[in-house]
C-alpha cells in the first residue's frame, strides 16, 4: 500500500484536489482522482482541501525517543571578524517570541576567538537568558567541521527544542552540516516562525518555487527543530540596556572538536561598503528599462539625491551594467529598506522575493500592467527618462 491513497468510495469527483496540487500530480480518471506517485511529493495540500476526506496520507511516524527532554530556544550568535552579525539580534527578536509562547528560556551560542565572550552582554540586552561561550584561537576563523562539531556536541548535551541561525554564507554552510549530523530537520530561509498553539510544534513558513508559493513546514517528530532566517526578514529585538547579566556557560573544547580537513588560507574583502544594500535605509534599483549602461547614471543620481544605495534586477546585472553584488532577488540579496525605488523593473517574482518586505515600495514603469505595481505602495506610470530626472530635481531641492 502506498502512503497516499484516494479512497475511491468516498471520492465525489469534485476536482478540488486536482486544482490545489502544486505539483500537477493528480488527474481525473473515470470521475475519480488518481495520484501520480512519481510527481507527488506527499505535501498533503490535497488531503487538506478534500471536502469529503477521500484522500488518506498514512505514515508511520514516531516521535524520537526522549523528545520531551528537548527544551528551550537557541540562537546561533554568528560572529564575523569578532563582531556579532546584525541578523543575530533579529533572531533574538524571533527567539523571544517563541520562548514566551513555549514558556522556556532563550539561549545564545557564541563561538569565536579569544575575547568573543565579551559579547555576551549584548546578547543578554537583547533578551538571551543564557549564553554558551566557546572561545579559542582555533575558532578565530570559521571552519565548518570544527564549528559544527562543537555545536552538535552542545545540542546533544543540552537538548534545545528549537535552534535558529542566520541564512548567511556561514549559516548556510554550518547549519545544514549540524542538522544532518543530528539527524534532524532543517528549514532554510524562513520568513515566518510561529508556535502551533495546539501542539507546541514550530510552524516554519518559507517561500518555495522562487517565491511563487509559500509553504509551511513542520518538523514534528524530531528535535531540535532547526531553521535559518535571512538578514532583515525578522524585526530586531530591542536592546534593554539595564539587562546586562545572565547565565554564562563556558564550553570546553576537546581535541576531537579541533579536527578539520579544511584550512582557511586567505580572507578577502572586496565588496565596497557602498554596495552593502543589505544595510541601506533607502535603495534605488534599476532594471532593463534603462536600456543602455550609460543610463544607469540616472539610478545613481536618484540614489545620490536620496542618500540611498544602488541596486539592480538580474536583467541589469546580466547585461553587465552593474556588479552582481548589487543584485536583489532570489539569486541575489534580500533587502528590507525603509524605501525601495524600483525603476524600469517589471517585478518578476524572482525579483519580488528579494525586496517585497521593504517598508515602502515605489515603482516607476511605463507599462501600467507591469506586475511591480501590484507590490507598490506608490506606482508612477510613465517614461522613466522623463520621470526620474524630475524626481532627482525635486528631491535635491528638498534636501
Partner 1 sequence: MNLIVCVKQVPNTTEVRIDPKTNTLIREGIDSILNPFDAYALEEAVQIKEQHGGTVTALTMGPPQAEQVLREAISVGADKAVLLSDPAFAGADTLATSYTLARAIRKLGDFQLILCGKQAIDGDTAQVGPGIAVHLDLPQVIFVRRIRDISGTELVAERMTETGFEAVRAKLPALVTVVKDINQPRLPSLRGKMTAAKAEIPVWTVKDLDLESGRIGLQGSPTWVRKVFSPQPRSGGRRFEGEPTAVVDEFIRTLKEDGML
Positions in the binding site for ligand FAD (CB under 6 A):
287-289, 313-316, 327-332, 344-346, 348, 350-351, 354, 364-367, 370, 383-385
Q: Does 50 bind partner 1 (CB under 8 A)?
A: no
Residue 12's binding partner out of ligand FAD, partner 1, none, with CB under 5 to 8 Å set by partner kind: none
Q: Does 39 bind partner 1 (CB under 8 A)?
A: yes
Three-class SS state of 207: strand
CA distance 95 to 373: 34
**Which residues is 226 bridged to in the sheet?**
163, 186
Angle, CA 378 vertex, CA 355 and CA 329 arms, to 5°: 15
Q: Does 140 bind partner 1 (CB under 8 A)?
A: no
For partner 1, give the closer residue by CB, 125 or 346: 346
Question: Which part of the chain contacts partner 1 (CB under 8 A), choosing from 107-115, 116-124, 254-262, 284-292?
Answer: 254-262
Residue 3's binding partner out of partner 1, ligand FAD, none, with CB under 5 to 8 Å set by partner kind: partner 1
Q: Does 45 bind partner 1 (CB under 8 A)?
A: yes
Rounded to the nearest 5°, which phi and psi values hold at 11? -65, 130
Residue 271's binding partner out of partner 1, ligand FAD, none, with CB under 5 to 8 Å set by partner kind: partner 1
Residue 374's binding partner out of partner 1, ligand FAD, none, with CB under 5 to 8 Å set by partner kind: partner 1
Site for partner 1, residues 233 to 252, rule: CB under 8 A: none
Residue 189's binding partner out of ligand FAD, partner 1, none, with CB under 5 to 8 Å set by partner kind: partner 1
Q: Side-chain half-sphere of 279: how many Cα atoms within 13 Å?
A: 8
Binding mask 178-207 for partner 1 (x = CB under 8 A): -xxx-xxxxxxx-------------xx--x
- Interacting residues of 150 by C-beta distance below 8 A, sequence separation 6+: 111, 134, 139, 251, 253, 257
Q: Which of 121, 215, 248, 253 binds partner 1 (CB under 8 A)?
A: 215
Three-class SS state of 382: coil
Report in angstroms how near the CB of residue 246 gets to ligand FAD at its nearest. Answer: 40
The number of angstroms, rounded, from the C-alpha of 203 to the middle of its chain's C-alpha atoms is 14
Cβ(109)–Cβ(120) below 8 Å = no
For ligand FAD, give the closer residue by CB, 4 or 298: 298
Report in angstroms how near the CB of residue 291 gets to ligand FAD at its nearest. Answer: 7
Grid coordinates representing 207?
A: 517561500
Residue 42's binding partner out of ligand FAD, partner 1, none, with CB under 5 to 8 Å set by partner kind: partner 1
- Interacting residues of 314 by C-beta distance below 8 A, sequence separation 6+: 327, 329, 331, 332, 350, 351
For ligand FAD, give the closer residue by CB, 212 or 244: 212
Q: Does 107 bind partner 1 (CB under 8 A)?
A: no
Q: Could you check whether the bond before residue 224 is cis, i.e. omega within 30 degrees of 0?
A: yes
Q: Which of 86, 192, 210, 304 binds partner 1 (CB under 8 A)?
A: 210
CA distance 84 to 131: 13
Phi-psi bin for 189: left (phi > 0), alpha (psi -120 to 50), beta?
left
For partner 1, give the closer residue by CB, 120 or 174: 174
Report in angstroms how near the CB of residue 311 gets to ligand FAD at its nearest. Answer: 9
Q: Does 71 bind partner 1 (CB under 8 A)?
A: no
Residue given cell 517614461 in the structure block: 383
CA distance 126 to 94: 11
Residue 125's binding partner out of ligand FAD, partner 1, none, with CB under 5 to 8 Å set by partner kind: none
- Within 10 A of 323 (CB to CB), how many other CB atoms are there? 13
Amino acid at each position: 500500500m502506498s502512503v497516499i491513497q484516494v479512497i475511491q468510495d468516498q471520492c465525489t469527483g469534485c476536482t478540488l484536489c486536482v486544482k490545489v496540487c502544486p505539483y500537477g500530480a493528480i488527474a481525473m480518471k473515470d470521475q475519480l482522482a488518481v495520484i501520480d506517485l512519481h510527481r507527488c511529493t506527499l505535501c498533503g495540500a490535497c488531503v487538506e482541501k478534500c471536502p469529503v476526506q477521500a484522500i488518506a496520507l498514512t505514515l508511520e511516524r514516531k516521535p524520537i525517543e526522549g523528545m520531551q527532554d528537548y527544551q528551550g530556544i537557541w540562537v546561533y550568535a554568528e560572529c564575523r571578524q569578532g563582531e556579532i552579525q546584525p541578523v543575530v539580534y533579529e533572531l533574538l527578536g524571533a527567539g523571544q517570541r517563541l520562548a514566551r509562547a513555549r514558556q522556556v528560556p532563550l539561549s545564545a551560542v557564541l563561538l569565536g576567538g579569544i575575547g568573543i565572550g565579551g559579547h555576551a552582554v549584548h546578547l543578554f540586552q537583547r533578551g538571551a537568558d543564557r549564553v554558551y561561550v566557546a572561545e579559542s584561537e582555533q575558532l578565530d576563523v570559521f571552519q565548518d567541521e570544527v564549528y559544527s562539531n562543537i555545536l552538535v556536541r552542545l545540542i546533544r548535551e543540552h537538548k534545545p527544542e528549537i535552534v535558529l541561525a542566520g541564512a548567511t554564507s556561514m549559516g548556510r554552510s554550518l547549519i545544514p552540516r549540524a542538522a544532518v549530523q543530528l539527524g534532524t530537520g532543517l528549514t532554510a530561509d524562513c520568513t515566518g516562525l510561529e508556535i502551533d498553539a495546539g501542539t507546541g510544534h514550530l510552524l516554519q513558513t518559507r517561500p518555495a518555487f522562487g517565491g511563487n508559493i509559500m509553504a509551511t513546514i513542520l518538523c514534528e517528530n524530531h528535535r531540535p527543530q532547526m531553521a535559518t532566517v535571512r538578514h532583515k526578514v525578522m524585526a530586531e529585538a530591542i536592546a534593554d540596556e539595564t539587562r546586562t547579566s545572565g547565565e554564562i556557560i563556558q564550553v570546553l573544547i576537546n581535541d576531537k572538536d579541533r579536527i578539520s580537513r579544511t584550512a582557511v588560507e586567505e580572507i578577502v574583502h572586496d565588496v565596497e561598503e557602498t554596495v552593502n544594500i543589505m544595510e541601506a535605509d533607502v535603495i534605488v534599483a534599476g532594471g532593463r528599462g534603462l536600456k543602455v549602461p550609460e543610463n544607469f547614471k540616472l539610478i545613481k543620481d536618484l540614489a545620490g539625491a536620496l542618500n540611498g544605495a544602488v541596486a539592480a534586477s538580474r536583467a541589469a546585472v546580466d547585461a553587465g551594467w552593474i556588479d552582481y553584488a548589487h543584485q536583489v532577488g532570489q539569486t541575489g540579496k534580500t533587502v528590507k529598506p525603509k524605501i525601495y525605488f524600483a525603476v524600469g523593473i517589471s517585478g518578476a517574482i524572482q525579483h519580488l522575493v528579494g525586496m517585497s518586505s521593504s517598508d515602502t515600495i515605489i515603482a516607476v514603469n511605463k507599462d501600467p500592467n507591469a506586475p511591480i505595481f501590484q507590490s507598490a505602495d506608490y506606482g508612477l506610470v510613465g517614461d522613466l527618462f522623463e520621470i526620474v530626472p524630475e524626481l532627482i530635481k525635486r528631491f535635491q531641492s528638498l534636501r
